[in-house]
A and B are shown apart, each in its own frame.
With several copies, the nearest count.
Chain A
């Protein structure tokens, strides 16, 4: 990957503004999507690639309109299929930095299959899932991440579908980079987005996002001052799993595949490691919040294996070296005969 920012060969340092498109942003005032947009626009200049090397691909949903607002290449596609479009783009031009922007409905409801297949192939794209636990664009039905009992227009007496947990699913699909961050925490988001962008292979970031209109406060415990200090567990490579306010520090003890919340100064607090190729540890982490514990944010898992497009390029290059052919050679391959 080029590390210097070039446009038409002229080196120049880009800023956040350079990544803003001329389109009016059409999310509801106060929507969490705004902060994520700002976060992405702030991180890209740090990555050293010129604007034309970025492609943002959206499915359908409020989140998925994101590409319109980026001064990069942008493709607003159809519902749920963005990872498949992105795969075609990346395979044809591996030099592009390809980002999929998707919502919990787009990615996990109609698009679940493309998501897991992109992950298992380890195609080199960055997938940002804006999880607001609701269908925003269609005005507020429950989504595959809504908790049981959620009352919406389509579930007036409460939903009965157990939710999917995006991180658990990503582990099941063997994604090589899996992280979570929060719309309201710009600093954390910046760090995670940068790591995601630099990862080779599929990187997947769940971003907890507030839909102010249809599901306001879904993540308040993890975003509001006074609450988040108690409820967010920051995952840091090599650091113990501790969290909580100054006067009530707690830690996670892991024993026999169960996690337990203890006082932070208890012995044996687990130490975080991202390089969990087997995924059992990361999986356990993904259940902590489900079981009523704190919300882990940060990188759950990060390991390397050759991405799909690189292996494909290798095969193509090898074939081209091995057997050069013209179209005439091709047409004449196999049995031929002459008529005079």
Chain B
């Protein structure tokens, strides 16, 4: 393929349109290049085009790493399809690389024969150095053999498109992502209108920016249309969806909505005690916008104050929630133990990231399960739930709130960086669909005892300050069952330790059994939890389609396990547990059931690929 410039592209736009089922593309550039925004817009356009889709934003830990370096590469991946899909895709059909660093960091994920679009204006000696590349990779003939390479002078073309606007060149250059977006819209036959609307709304008060971005996008689109180099483009038909109204949702927004919905349903004020930390901060940001729902967000001085204030809030009759990520959760253990002892409702949301220690803050991982189980002194059992997709974050937030309030217990809720920032289309549920639940405050002084128990749930009464006649005192010292008075009596302690465990274990009766996706017996059962759902499901479905004897169970409840879990596992020859850690769930399964479950572990700060699961499962079949 020849080097192109825009003069060469006067041909008529009579181009072949190829229909395809699924496409995975990735925009990659410097942190300052606006790749996340570009990806978001492409996602929105694809949603409106009726595709099923999943996204995977991936950005650096630095606010603005040095321009042009590998550390500064920011990428956004989207998989869109006319069929049901579960993941943002494994290998890429198309890669847009805005500079050499983005090229270098991402080229390995492009399929053979895939489309590579590079912004040649950035392929300069200086940038090769920054990207630690010896020579211009575009000069490498092998590249052209492996991929469909389109060299586009994006910066220059964008500048030209805006030439007559008299903008600072710096501003013109900042529109080049819209050029790339326009080009991809043409490539995948998406309408530009909704994005134009969005640009207007977003930059409404700065008309020159509206115009510049719009023009840049159109220039990109028309470039695709006109350049001879691009002979064909693609269309991904609408997916068949259950009827209804949809939106795109990320895990962090979904979880925020879930807590608002739960608090409404319960008739409680939502109190959110949090200290900022990546990747959990966005939940705080989202919720701080909903004071109109009575939400009180409290940006605490640290994570310990955050959890303590949330416990105080619940004690006073609110739905107290605290949210953080790994290192911040580690700090909360002591206070969570107090909530266990005083039996106060609390949800602790952990948006997990790669550890240990500071680790890789913007990268995903599932390595806090065992800390959730055991990261407190003494015997301090808590229910643990995990979300499996971005939209599932909404449902688990509601369910965690239900359990916390019904059982007067802290609940650990696990999300992760992948779910938090990834998005998918969501058939918007109705408020009326929220499961039944209620918060009851004890008000009757007759026979009141703070540690009196509901015989069914083993829960104690929630009795909030301000209630006349029910003054009482609680605390973290062991207490007599019933009266709640301090007690150092040996038998009472034994009784209470077992009772607290029993209360949590008893939740198994109140949660749905695990559902087997596929045959309910066979060779391999793949057991997963959390954000690995999509990739496992895609792999299992693919193998099932080929007739393999493999089924899937995905756990929402990690403590207690659903009542039928053991029985389900015993019907398979092998149990495989893929996790983005060194094998944490598998440890619990093995110890609980003495089943020789097999761990499949990946700890790279990024999600599994579907193909990895397929390979692993095939090994066991």
Contacts and interface: CB of A to CB of B under 8 A. Distances in A.
Interface of A: 7-8, 21, 23-29, 50-55, 57-58, 60, 62, 67-68, 70-81, 84-89, 91-93, 95-96, 109-110, 112-114, 117, 135-139, 141-142, 144, 153-157, 159, 161, 213, 312, 315-316, 318-320, 322-328, 330-332, 334-340
Given A55-B465, A154-B297, 11 more contacts: A23-B473, A52-B466, A68-B475, A75-B342, A88-B316, A93-B465, A93-B466, A109-B275, A332-B245, A337-B245, A338-B243
A88 B275 contact: no
A335 B486 contact: no
A241 B273 CA distance: 44
Contact of B289 (A50, A141, A156, A213): A156
B312 A339 contact: no
Contacts of B243: 338-340
B69 A24 contact: yes
A135 B477 CA distance: 19
A21 B471 CA distance: 9
Given A78-B358, A141-B281, A52 B292 contact: no
Of the candidates A142, A319, A320, the one having the most CB atoms from chain B within 10 angstroms of its own CB is A319
B291 A88 contact: no
B299 interface: yes
B297 A91 contact: no
Say what secondary structure dominates the interface of chain B.
Answer: mixed
B242 to A, nearest CB: 7
Contacts of B397: none
Interface in B472-495: 472-477, 485-486
Interface stretch (B116-124, B256-264, B408-416): B256-264
24 contacts: A23-B473, A28-B63, A52-B466, A74-B474, A75-B474, A77-B311, A78-B338, A81-B305, A84-B301, A85-B315, A91-B309, A92-B271, A93-B316, A96-B466, A110-B303, A139-B63, A141-B284, A154-B299, A157-B291, A161-B299, A326-B431, A331-B247, A335-B48, A339-B246
Contact of A85 (B278, B309, B466): B309
Contact of B299 (A24, A76, A155, A213): A155
B609 interface: no
Given A136-B63, A332-B245, A337 B471 contact: no
Nearest to A340: B243
Contact of A109 (B260, B302, B320, B476): B302
B318 to A, nearest CB: 4
B298 A87 contact: yes
Contacts of B498: none
Interface in B288-308: 288-294, 296-306, 308
B247 A339 contact: no
Contacts of A73: 465-466, 471-473
A139 B335 CA distance: 24
Interface string B310-323: 11111111101000
Across the A-B interface, give the 10 residue pairs with the lowest CB-CB distance, nearest first.
Answer: A88-B312, A76-B475, A74-B473, A88-B309, A319-B291, A84-B308, A85-B312, A339-B241, A88-B313, A28-B64
B210 interface: no
Contacts of A52: 465-471
B431 A67 contact: no
B292 A322 contact: yes
A157 B292 CA distance: 12
Contacts of B473: 21, 23, 67-68, 70, 73-76
Nearest to B246: A337
Interface string B324-351: 0001000000110010001000000000
Interface string B213-257: 000000000000000000000000000011111111000000001
A328 B244 CA distance: 14
A153 B429 CA distance: 27
Interface residues of B, number: 93
Contacts of A23: 473, 485-486
A60 B78 CA distance: 32
Given A23-B473, A336-B246, A92 B308 contact: no
A8 B473 CA distance: 20
A142 B431 contact: no
A316 B327 contact: no
B271 A316 contact: no
A138 B316 contact: no
A88 B299 contact: no
Given A7-B468, A52-B468, A109-B301, A76 B474 contact: yes
A26 B69 CA distance: 10
Interface string B393-412: 00000000000000000000
Contacts of B357: 78
Contacts of A138: 276-278, 281
B245 A86 contact: no
Contacts of B247: 331-332, 334-337
Given A73-B472, A316-B291, A320-B292, A84 B285 contact: no
A155 B308 CA distance: 21
Given A26-B66, A78-B338, A72 B312 contact: no
Contact of B309 (A51, A84, A93): A84
Nearest to B280: A138
Given A25-B66, A155-B288, A330 B471 contact: no
A7 to B, nearest CB: 5
B67 interface: yes
A23 B485 CA distance: 8
B519 interface: no
A78 B334 contact: yes
B285 A154 contact: yes
A137 B63 CA distance: 6
Q: Output the residue of A57, A319, A337 with the most chain B CB within 10 A.
A: A337
A192 to B, nearest CB: 24
A39 B277 CA distance: 30
Contacts of A81: 304-305, 308, 335
B277 A91 contact: no
Contact of A336 (B289, B318, B428, B477): B428
A60 B469 contact: no
Nearest to B430: A328
